[in-house]
A and B are shown apart, each in its own frame.
Chain A
Amino acid sequence: MSPATLPTLAAAIALFPSSDTPLAALLPTGAKTATEQLARLDRLCGLAVVGSESCLARLEPTWRDQAAQTAVFCGSREGCLATDTAFFRGVQNGEASPRLFAYTLHSAPVGAVSIQHGLLGPGATVIGSQVAGLQALEEATLLLSSGRARACVVLSCDLAWSPGVDVVAALYLTSQPASRIGYFAWKILDVHSFFVAEQPDIALSRALAALHQRVPQSAAALAVSASGPPLATLAALLDEPSTVHPQLNDPSQSCVVITSQDAQGYAAAAVIRRDRGVS
């Protein structure tokens, strides 16, 4: 991929609400989404809508100019399993809920976000691993470079199984120059995911090897290992880089590699670079 065609990461946000936090409380000021709309969604979709709205609120309104060619990709380890469970409990009790069934697809958050923001581009949810968010990011970069979309909202959503902390991250990628769209910008230089059954260390070493081969400067980049959903770690880092990693205050430290792996044998690594010329 030539530097000119590298996707721009124009906005990112990560939210870590406790699982009993009303989603409406997380909406940004002036949000388009109404509380009643959130109430119609299951929590996973609501989380995705809140995350995407918070992310898009950080962009100049001109992002809407390309809504017709904006994709939505989501990564999730367990997807809608909580809703599946609620639906199936209803089936067992003889009360299958059509409302819940509509949300028993892992791709439901993609549909919900697209509907809420009028995004007409491609969409899918990548499912089944801790690194699914980075896999979604990888697919989004390939999609943008193919020209089949001009922008992409990349999400990572997972619910706490028992009372705990839910996670949502939302990133906005565009093939446009950052100066036209956002308040900060990074370039996605490369993303690689690998799978070696039950050997995540080997998978990670291969992902990093591929990264270093294609982006030599990644070998000297600030390395961040994500213990949770990696896209949320990445978004949090981008949101407050100098707080999370003071090294990023150093102008010479412009590259970050983020890695993640899980016990199944999935691993992924992404390298991003501060977009020069953008304050």
Chain B
Amino acid sequence: MTNPSRAGSWEELAGLSRRINQAESPQQMAAQVIDCLLGLLPDLDLVLVSLGEGQEHEPRLPIVAAAGHESARLEQAFIDLKDGSLPAAAIGRRQPIKWSLAAPDPAGQPLTQGSRTALSIPLSDGEHSWGVLHLESLSADGLGEQQAALVRLIAEQLSVALHNHQLTSEVKRERERRQAMANISNVLNETLELHAVFSMIVDAARLFIPHVEQAVIHLLEEEQGEQFLRPVALSPRPVSGNRQPESTVRMRPGHGIAGLVLQRGTFINIGDVRADPRFVPNRKDEEFRSILVCPLQSRGRKLGTISVQSPAPAAFQHEAEMLMIELAVEAAIAIEKAGQFEALKTERRRQDAILRNMADGILVVNAAGIVELVNPAMAEIAGQPAEQLIGSALFDLPGGSTLQVIFEEALKKPGATVQRDYVPSPGVFLSASVGVIPGDKEQHVGLVAAVRDVTREREVDRMKTDFISTVSHELRTPLTSILGFVKLIRRNLQGKILPHLPDEDELAQQTQQRVLENLDIIEAEGKRLTNLINEVLDIAKMESGNIDWHMSEIDLQSIVDKAVIATTVLLEHKPLTFTMNMGEGPKIVRADGDRCLQVVTNLISNAVKFTDEGEITVSVHRIEDGVLPEPRGETYARPANLAGDWVLTQVVDSGIGIEKIDLPMVFQRFKQVGDALTDRPRGTGLGLPICREIVEHHSGYIWVESLPGKGSCFSFVLPASDTKALPQPAPEDLAPAAALDKEAKRLILVVDDEEFTRRLLLQMLEDAGYQVITAADGNEAIKLARDQRPDLIILDVMMPQLDGFDTLVVLKNDPQTDGIPVMFLSVLERQQRGLRLGAAAYITKPFEASRLLETVNALVSVSGKEPAAGRHVLIIEANNLTRASVRSVLETRGFQVWDVATMQAGLQVVGHRSPDLVIVGLKVMEVATPQLLANMRRWAEQKPVHFLVMDLEQEDIVESTLETGRIQHLADDVLENLGTEDDVG
């Protein structure tokens, strides 16, 4: 054997140290050490490195590297720790063992026969053991003291390197583990498909957790009130698709390992399931010994468990446990998220299916008015593909401008559904029900509309209305004959036949009485039938929406005034006290004035009908924040909670009242409550249903309160208009005369044979600051007019003895009174006759208080001026209300007015009459054909006439043409009354 030079040895050792520290694996380190030892010790015949710790169930270490002549004779690839070999003994002792044939150590034998010397050095730092370095030589002095010292040095270096490697690889593994977990977490986060998430989790468990052969997820589910754990994912996946996941046992919480884990909320790691009685075995589970089960819980909610299994006993150590806990946390979050998404998707699919299969069109727009969603039905209704509709503005849809208005209305009523019909194209009728989609922070995130094609319904409705219209026509014609001939018969009887009956013939006298009574009955029933027809027609039109509502800001107080006047005649034959009770505050609503009048009139006549004595009170109040007065007795249909401001109108009577059981019937058609056998006057049974239709059309409520025997109270509320919407005339506007001239109050003579009307006018005019005297008939009026010289006379037409027209003729023929302006106030529509006789104005009852006052003010202020009578104005304006209001302004000034709705009709008027002024509404001008306009111009050129085109709704003159100057002062008058400063040009 050769002694290596010391210097050479040190050099070798330094090189070895560098090389093993650079080695990437323990195997490489072992190889380097063996190479080096073979170089340094030429007599070596076997050198090997065995690494590992050995397991209890498998006590042997694999040989990772071996060299030398004898290495080929090694029979085993591992060191058996129990077979009494020298390296096994060295590991056991944790001490190097030097062996020689001369002095054999009894602890163990060399690995090859024939070896004379051997050396086993455990690779250890005294605490950890990494394996063993074992050398043998056939030479007796192959491993002497010197060589042994060198080998120990090398073994020490290897131990240090192995230790270092272990440390760095642990750090590296930890880093890799974290990286892997982060990757899993990322992938899981991005995956929302529940089954993909399951697969990913079980695959990750199998790949990243050491020794895992199989991973399973159980989810906690509920069926028929019972909870159980159902296996949902398995890795590796079963070969056959039909096979259930391996572990098909359904465990209840608290049973089996998984059940226990779920219950406890902490993991359980079992080294050998065969020794654990808690384990519930399955056929397949026999292959497994170790099992590690972790709960899946998210935010305290138990979702299920994840288990990993291994055929080796005690396969899962601390590291595996930590990894499992981490994985379980990530998995639970991912499962919950995917579950929620799945639920969302299911919900979405359900909604999609609902939307797709709905017959109604569904339209969703966002807060910016952009269409976000439409269903196929909507696309069909709109006649455009859904893709085209989505993203376009609501406004651009067919009928979009109307829809916009409906949507805006809906925005004002969050929480309510606004239902309106609209016409996107001629002949197509759609009905949209629109609601607001509430937002979390914002007031709303958009609106949703259900749109239905109601063209067919409309068609049916129209046919129904046409039918009713026709029927009513067919009924009216015979009724005309019946009622007409009854009157003629009575007239003939009374005038020509009855006077010739002998007075002494008692039977004839009796029969005469009876015949007249019978005629009265025919007439009364005929009138009732007429009312019934009118009301049936009314309600049919309302129900089919076939009615034009003339909406404007109206004062309910004036509506009640009118209604009271219209029903005065009913009160005449009953000992009833009538009271009006007007509350504070503006009582302005946006409504159809005529229809509201119909409601109030109906309620008052009902009250009169069912009250024989006592009192009737009509009140109008503005109510704030929906606070209604206390109910009077039992109620029906009284709104429970009103929000906002309303105008409340109540008609209270002291009549017979209504039994509680009958209350719900009062608003039903053709239902008349009470005893049908009494001789009480019967109505049509349609009055209240019509009232309800009208009130509900105005978004109001109508209800009844009653105490049987004490009386009833019918109430309705309409939403109060913003008071700013209607400029309230200031008191001085209403009565300038009074305000300017308090000393000498203007005097007005009111002539009416009805005491009630006299009282009403007296109060109204006195309130407006006038001095008022009254007369009950024409003769008295003429006398008073001569004596008092009033500034204005308000004259009824129908009066006993001397009627209004005759009275006027007398007044106008008397130089003492001919200068006093006279204004007619009558239920008769006989403007032309009145104005022809020289009246300054003609107002029909029922009248609007404000309009009456305006007229009175105007007449009183112009009295003394030359009257404008004899001047003729033609108004051509499509809007009935505008036309009527312009007409009334002009009539106030004493003009004679003709008004027509179309240019065509206007041309006909000028064809046989000669107006001094023609006022044409802008709308009429716009829709008139060029031919008509040309005709009108030609006519205007032939005659000296003033021709004004006005935007009457805006009260603004937009153009003035064909001006001749001849009647300049007339135009000035018009302008003054219309309140504009524009020059006529």
A and B co-occur in one complex: no
By a beta-carbon cutoff of 8 Å, the part of chain B in contact with chain A is none
By a beta-carbon cutoff of 8 Å, the part of chain A in contact with chain B is none
